[in-house]
Amino acid sequence: MRDPSVSRIDFGYFVLPSRGDSDDPSRVVPCLGYLVDHPDGVVLVDTGMGSHHDVDDHYRPRRRSLVVALGAVGSGLEKITIVVNCHLHFDHCGGNPTLTGRPIVTQARELELAREPDYTLPELVDAPGQRYTVIDGDAEVLPGILVVPTPGHTAGHQSVVVRLSDGTVVVAGQSHDTSSAYGADVSALRALRDGQEAAIPVPPEWIERLQAMDPRRVYFAHDRAVWEP
């Protein structure tokens, strides 16, 4: 059986406003998804940015539609068999309503949160024809493709682990805003293992588990940089 391939999908960008601090200027943030082409199906991790006038006024997004973004990597809506959202904020599930009938794999806690007021855009969560596969913990969605909980950014955040013949690739979504932030947690884990205690930040518990899977690349939703060991 051939290895799965992992391709980056470019959904555009948005502008993260400054909080008014000179040390925290506005910045342009890419919005990225990932396509995992497996012999048994095609998994799409995140589907782009949803639209609403409040979102547009606040974040000034420049969207690339799901159809256009998939076409750029030689794919299309009809090829997608499974959708995995790392979480259900508007910038990760915007294309879900166009993928009716496909199973959308989500953690039970994330779906519960997404149905609460002011969490995301409601029309993205319960659009007609949407079909959720609700999990609570790990799930192997295709042979060698594992969805694992990585809570932090949201309580129901999840990542996708893809096992390849020459190593493991992790699509970590927004587990961290940047590759450097992930690397900092990996370094903190190393220091704690070495017995360092004073003034060492404590990484999330799941970092140790992901690192035990020996990833050779870790991809992110809002950073084009890739973490490598």
pLDDT (tens digit per residue) in 219-229: 999 999 999 99
Quickly state the pLDDT bin for 152 (edges 50, 70, 90). very high
Measured in degrees and rounded to the nearest 5, phi and psi for residue 73 equal -110, 20
Amino acid at residue number 108: A
HSE toward the beta carbon, residue 222, CA cutoff 13 A: 19
Measured in degrees and rounded to the nearest 5, phi and psi for residue 110 equal -65, -45
Q: The domain 5-219: what is its CATH number?
A: 3.60.15.10
Quickly state the pLDDT bin for 23 (edges 50, 70, 90). confident
Quickly state the pLDDT bin for 201 (edges 50, 70, 90). confident
Sole residue written with tokens 């990833």: 215
Are the C-beta atoms of residues 59 and 18 closer than 8 Å to each other? no
Beta strand spans in the chain (E): 5-16, 27-38, 41-45, 62-63, 82-84, 103-107, 131-135, 139-142, 145-149, 158-164, 167-171, 215-219
Helix, strand, coil percentages, rounded to 5, for the chain: 25, 30, 45
Helices and strands counted in the chain (H then E): 6, 12
Residue 46 tokens, joined = 């995140």
DSSP 8-state class, residue 1: -
d(CA 192, CA 194): 5
Are the C-beta atoms of residues 215 and 160 closer than 8 Å to each other? no
For residue 134, is pLDDT > 80? yes
Q: What is the pLDDT of residues 169-183, one digit of tens each?
A: 999 999 999 999 999
Residue 124 tokens, joined = 């993205």
Kindly tell me the burial class for residue 134, based on how many C-beta atoms sit within 10 Å of its own C-beta (0-12, 13-18, 19 or more).
Answer: middle
Mean pLDDT, all residues of the chain: 95
Quickly state the pLDDT bin for 22 (edges 50, 70, 90). low
